[in-house]
Amino acid sequence: MDKKEKINAEVKLLTAIYSDEVFAGRTVRQAKPSCCGQEINLFTTNVAFREINLGKKVFHLIEPTCPTCGKKVEATYHLLN
């Protein structure tokens, strides 16, 4: 997604769904993305989704672009179960 392109409703919806799954999940827990000394608001910046497969279950991690420096912030996660 181009920096100048607006974040569309579909991306915001997917971000909300996947956020609930990975930030409050019982199997995979993603660390809140941060860069340049601040936590990134996922609903106001460009994001990419990365799939990981755990057995038969697929999880979607969220990798935002830092609004300050423009760097892609890779997802850090832990397996809980």
Per-residue pLDDT of the chain (81 residues; tens, 9 = 90+): 444 455 788 999 999 999 999 999 899 999 999 999 999 999 999 999 999 999 899 999 999 999 999 999 999 999 986
As a whole number of angstroms, the distance between CA 66 and CA 51 comes to 20
What the block records as the tokens of 34 is 């941060």
CA 27 → CA 24, 37, 71, distances in Å? 9, 28, 28
Prediction pTM value: 0.85
Every domain of the chain and the residues it spans: 9-79
